[in-house]
């Protein structure tokens, strides 16, 4: 490696704030993912480029690597680790990264896909679906490991993205019972995928209008369909809507209550000078009857091109199961204020 440093760009995000959710004390936490990344582009001539990107994800309040449950099993480069080639034919990459659906759909979500409690990406936008169910606990559920990506060039506003994963075991430590039994689960510990996970998304952009359609099937053959569109009636205003449906027929009987989950979200972004107003409303129906409903409002105030202050307010109603005696929904309010800095 006697190569000049100029080929590596370090980039990242630090986002930290104070938040308060009904029933808990005030917490120091984040609204966006926190990243420390390394990436580079090498010009190979004739329009051909070699690319790489490595992205650490961490929690700014404790300094740990990002993890949602298990202690130590998440990757160092949770964000992505990919290498590839780009040319007139498009882009081919190998490694670990966001699936086409997960990457495409963030542009149609009113919080731009950040995992804010007030946002919709983590819970509603994916209709409860996870792209990586056989990964160890704590690993991001929005990514494929051991995969190949192909993005076409943009042709007349149209682009196609495809990713296919290998049938490699990734070390899930909790068995997935599925249609099996506790003693003979459908997917045991460190299970091999029963099929190659894969996904594709198509996006189309025409002036103020954009739309996408996406499909994905994960390593345990859960399927997801999603469509969305956005429209800008004036430059400062962006309206958006998405619909997605998760089909678990490979692991759950088709007549089971949780066989299908669908979700829809509508939202708007309105830019006012250095400020941006975010509005969203969404509904998820995990059991085809009871609905989770979320209404959110947010405000981002840019104090520079790389730094903004944010305020979020959100109300979420989660229905109690029909078998529960009490008839009230569980309602949670969430407030959040903080600072978001790109470097």
Quick check: 50 binds a second copy (CB under 8 A)?
yes
- Report the alpha-carbon distance of residue 281 to residue 292 in Å, rounded: 11
Q: What is the DSSP letter of 5?
A: G
Least distance between a second copy and beta carbon 131 (Å): 14
Least distance between a second copy and beta carbon 207 (Å): 24
Work out which of 130, 142, 145, 226 binds a second copy, going by CB under 8 A. 145
Site string for a second copy, 16-35 (x = CB under 8 A): xxx------xxxxx-----x
Could you tell me which residues come within 8 angstroms of residue 106 by beta carbon, excluding any fewer than 6 positions away? 112, 113, 121
Quick check: 156 binds a second copy (CB under 8 A)?
no
Site for a second copy in 236-265 (CB under 8 A): none
Quick check: 107 binds a second copy (CB under 8 A)?
no
Site string for a second copy, 66-105 (x = CB under 8 A): -----xxx-xxxxxxxxxxx--------xxx---------
Nearest by Cα to 134 from 263, 214, 251: 251
Q: How many CB atoms lie within 10 A of CB 232?
A: 15
Q: How far is CA 49 from the centre of its chain?
A: 27
- Written as six digits, the tokens of 96 are 């670990």
Work out which of 21, 106, 168, 194 binds a second copy, going by CB under 8 A. 168
Quick check: 199 binds a second copy (CB under 8 A)?
no
Which helix H or strand E contains 292, and what residues bound it?
Answer: strand 292-302
Quick check: 279 binds a second copy (CB under 8 A)?
no
- Report the alpha-carbon distance of residue 25 to residue 59 in Å, rounded: 19
- Report the alpha-carbon distance of residue 57 to residue 76 in Å, rounded: 7
Work out which of 23, 45, 254, 273 binds a second copy, going by CB under 8 A. 45
* Site size toward a second copy, by CB under 8 A: 78
Q: How far is CA 306 from the centre of its chain?
A: 22
Least distance between a second copy and beta carbon 49 (Å): 10
Quick check: 9 binds a second copy (CB under 8 A)?
yes
């Amino acid at each position: 490696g006697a190569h000049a440093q100029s080929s590596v760009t370090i980039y990242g995000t630090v986002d930290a704030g104070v938040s308060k959710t009904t029933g808990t004390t005030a917490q120091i936490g984040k609204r966006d993912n926190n990243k420390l990344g390394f990436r580079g582009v090498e010009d190979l001539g004739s329009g051909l480029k070699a690319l790489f990107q490595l992205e650490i994800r961490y929690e700014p309040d404790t300094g740990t690597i990002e993890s949602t449950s298990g202690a130590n099993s998440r990757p160092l480069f949770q964000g992505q680790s990919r290498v590839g080639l780009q040319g007139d034919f498009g882009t081919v990459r190998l490694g670990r990264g966001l699936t086409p659906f997960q990457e495409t759909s963030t542009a149609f979500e009113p919080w731009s896909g950040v995992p804010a409690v007030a946002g919709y990406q983590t819970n509603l936008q994916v209709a409860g679906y996870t792209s990586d169910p056989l990964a160890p606990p704590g690993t991001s559920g929005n990514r494929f490991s051991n995969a190949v990506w192909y993005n076409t060039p943009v042709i007349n506003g149209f682009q196609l993205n495809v990713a296919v994963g290998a049938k490699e075991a990734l070390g899930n430590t909790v068995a997935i019972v599925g249609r099996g039994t506790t003693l003979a689960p459908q997917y045991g510990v460190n299970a091999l995928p029963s099929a190659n996970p894969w996904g594709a998304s198509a996006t189309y952009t025409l002036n103020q209008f954009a739309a996408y359609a996406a499909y994905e099937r994960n390593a345990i053959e859960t399927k997801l369909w999603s469509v969305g569109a956005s429209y800008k009636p004036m430059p400062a205003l962006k309206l958006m809507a998405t619909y997605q449906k998760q089909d678990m027929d490979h692991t759950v009987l088709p007549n089971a209550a949780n066989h299908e989950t669908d979700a829809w979200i509508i939202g708007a972004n309105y830019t006012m000078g250095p400020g941006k107003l975010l509005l969203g409303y969404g509904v998820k129906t995990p059991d085809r009857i009871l609905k989770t409903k979320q209404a959110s409002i947010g405000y981002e105030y840019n104090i520079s091109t790389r730094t903004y202050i944010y305020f979020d307010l959100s109300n979420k109603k989660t229905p109690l199961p029909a078998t529960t005696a009490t008839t009230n929904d569980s309602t949670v309010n969430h407030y959040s204020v903080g600072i978001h800095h790109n470097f």
